[in-house]
């Protein structure tokens, strides 16, 4: 693989969970990193390790503003576009704002990156694009109808990326992330993801609520696997590997009940009472699909992707991080 060093990389949403991990990683590899973020859901504390690095530039700005996007892409080799409003329930509550950020903001970034002639535009797509398709594992070419406003926005991103590469010649790669977890994922707020939320509640001996019976399953993907995919997406020199999308996952699935059992087991090493924290089952959530599992064959074949962390391996590391940092 071509080494990714001495480049200038723009990471939008770089103050968020995935973006801040990408910022740290690409700085550690000897690149210049520019972060564009409006701190809508990201945090300054995610950038503590970056901010004093002379190779790091923070631009506080909004992807809904084309001028901010144009300023951010100046002199940039690669864009890793992560900025978006995540969460299916948020998009159900406020579809207009989700669309403004995830569609109009995306289009602004793509336009700015095209004008600036960046080498490649790699963006965060989503497993939600599989929508109501029931087949498992999910293969990139077979998608269903979107089940939420959020899913529509992420599918529209793929459509725009394809049209821009065909029409204007910009190279794009979409990474369909599947339930990413790991250090720095936000445990707080109404739209917190399930793993950090459960970890926080378990650490505080608060009963946790599973939506439904707990037999829904997900392809939980540790952050370091996602970093690897972003690096491979930048690095590939194969023509057939660009202007397409890839599942970005581990390639296995676990139920929510499995997940809670692992979390209790690992956290009990620190505090034995956590094993006795209660689990309540509530109703299923609107827009949730029962099962999700990625085929990662395409990424293996075209990008030589080899995920290094299973759910259990990643969770052990993540739990240690949460115990050290958020207790
Ligand atoms: N976490 C997952 O499991 C997952 C799964 C599928 C796709 N994704 C996608 O990955 C990307 C990153 O997700 P995350 O989990 O790190 O979320 P996050 O909320 O932690 O990060 C998103 C970042 O984007 C920033 N942002 C939001 N609106 C902005 C705007 N208008 N202008 C500039 N910055 C803005 C936020 O402040 C935040 O720092 C998103 O595009 C998300 O849709 C995530």
**Average pLDDT of span 310-319:** 98
The pLDDT tens digits of the residues spanning 95-128 come to 999 999 999 999 999 999 999 999 999 999 999 9
Percent of the chain's residues with pLDDT above 70: 100
Known active-site residue 150: yes
Predicted pLDDT at 326:
87
Question: Would you state the pLDDT for residue 196?
Answer: 97
Tens digits of residue pLDDT in 236-261? 999 999 999 999 999 999 999 999 99
Q: Given this structure, which CATH class describes domain 8-181+220-251+290-309?
A: alpha beta
Q: Which of 123, 130, 150, 309 is catalytic?
A: 150
Q: Vertex 189, ends 184 and 192: CA angle to 5°?
A: 55
44 lines ligand 1 (CB under 6 A): no
Q: What is the pLDDT of residue 80?
A: 99
Determine the Cα–Cα distance for residues 156 and 187; give it in Å rounded to an integer. Answer: 28
Query: 127, 91, 123, 82: which is closest to 253 by C-alpha?
Result: 127
205: left (phi over 0), alpha (psi -120 to 50) or beta: left
From the DSSP assignment, how many helices (H) and strands (E) are in the chain? 12, 13
CB of 122 within 6 A of ligand 1: the answer is no
Q: Which of 141, 34, 129, 150 is nearest to 81 (CA)?
A: 34
Task: Spell out the domain ranges in the chain.
Answer: 8-181+220-251+290-309
Question: Does the pLDDT at position 286 exceed 80?
Answer: no
Q: Is the pLDDT of residue 287 over 80?
A: no
Q: Report the mean per-residue pLDDT for the chain.
A: 97
Tokens matching residue 102: 């995830």
Rounded distance between C-alpha atoms, residue 156 and residue 101, angstroms: 12
Residue 182 Cβ contacting ligand 1 at under 6 Å = no
Three-class secondary structure of residue 120 per DSSP: strand
Pocket-testing residue among 12, 25, 42, ligand 1, by greatest number of atoms within 8 A of Cβ: 42
Q: What's the confidence (pLDDT) of residue 289?
A: 85
Among 12, 18, 50, 191, residue to substitute to test ligand 1 (most atoms within 8 Å of Cβ):
18
Answer whether 293 contacts ligand 1 (Cβ < 6 A): no
Q: How high is the pLDDT of residue 327?
A: 82
> For the chain, what is the radius of gyration of the CA atoms?
19
What digits encode the pLDDT tens for the residues 122-159? 999 999 999 999 999 999 999 999 999 999 999 999 99
Q: What is the DSSP string of 201-218?
A: HHHTT--EEEESSS--EE
Per-residue pLDDT at 288: 80
- Select from 10, 15, 21, 40 the residue to mutate for testing ligand 1; criterion: most ligand atoms less than 8 Å from CB: 40
- Binding site membership of 219 for ligand 1 (Cβ less than 6 Å): no
For residue 1, the model assigns a pLDDT of 82
Distance of CA 298 from the midpoint of ligand 1 (Å): 24
Q: What is the pTM of this model?
A: 0.98
Mean pLDDT throughout 60-67? Answer: 98
Q: Ligand 1 pocket, 39 CB below 6 A?
A: yes
| Residue having the nearest C-alpha atom to atom 10 of ligand 1 | 124
Phi, psi of 125 (to 5 degrees): -95, -165
Average confidence (pLDDT) over 166-182: 98
Q: How far apart are CA 41 and CA 63, in angstroms?
A: 14
Q: Report the distance separating Cα 148 and Cα 282, nearest Å.
A: 20
174 lines ligand 1 (CB under 6 A): no
């Amino acid at each position: 693989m071509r080494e990714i060093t001495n480049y200038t990389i723009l990471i939008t949403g770089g103050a968020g969970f995935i973006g801040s991990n990408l910022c740290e990683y690409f700085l550690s590899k000897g690149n210049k990193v520019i972060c564009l973020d409006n701190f809508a859901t990201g945090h300054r504390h995610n950038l503590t390790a970056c901010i004093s690095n002379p190779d790091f530039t923070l631009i506080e700005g909004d992807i809904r503003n084309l001028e901010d996007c144009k300023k951010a892409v100046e002199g940039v080799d690669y864009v890793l576009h992560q900025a978006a409003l995540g969460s299916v329930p948020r998009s159900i509550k406020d579809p207009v704002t989700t669309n403004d950020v995830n569609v109009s903001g995306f289009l602004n970034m793509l336009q700015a990156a095209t004008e600036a002639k960046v080498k490649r535009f790699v963006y965060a797509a989503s497993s939600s694009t599989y929508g109501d398709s029931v087949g498992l594992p999910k293969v990139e070419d077979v998608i269903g109808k979107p089940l939420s406003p959020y899913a529509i926005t992420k599918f529209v991103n793929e459509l725009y990326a394809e049209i821009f590469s065909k029409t204007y010649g910009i190279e794009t790669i979409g990474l369909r992330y599947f339930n990413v977890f790991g250090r720095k994922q936000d445990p707080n707020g109404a739209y917190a993801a399930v793993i950090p939320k459960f970890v926080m509640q378990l650490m505080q001996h608060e009963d946790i609520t599973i939506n439904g019976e707990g037999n829904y399953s997900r392809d939980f993907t540790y952050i370091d696997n996602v970093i690897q995919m972003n690096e491979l997406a930048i690095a590939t020199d194969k023509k057939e590997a660009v202007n397409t999308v890839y599942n970005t996952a581990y390639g296995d699935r676990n139920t929510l009940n499995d997940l809670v059992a692992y979390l209790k087991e690992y956290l009990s090493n620190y505090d034995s009472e956590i094993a006795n924290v209660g689990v309540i089952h509530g109703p299923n959530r609107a827009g949730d699909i029962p099962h999700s599992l990625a085929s990662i064959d395409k990424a293996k074949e075209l990008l030589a992707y080899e995920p290094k962390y299973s759910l259990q391996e990643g969770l052990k590391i993540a739990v240690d991080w949460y115990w050290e940092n958020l207790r």
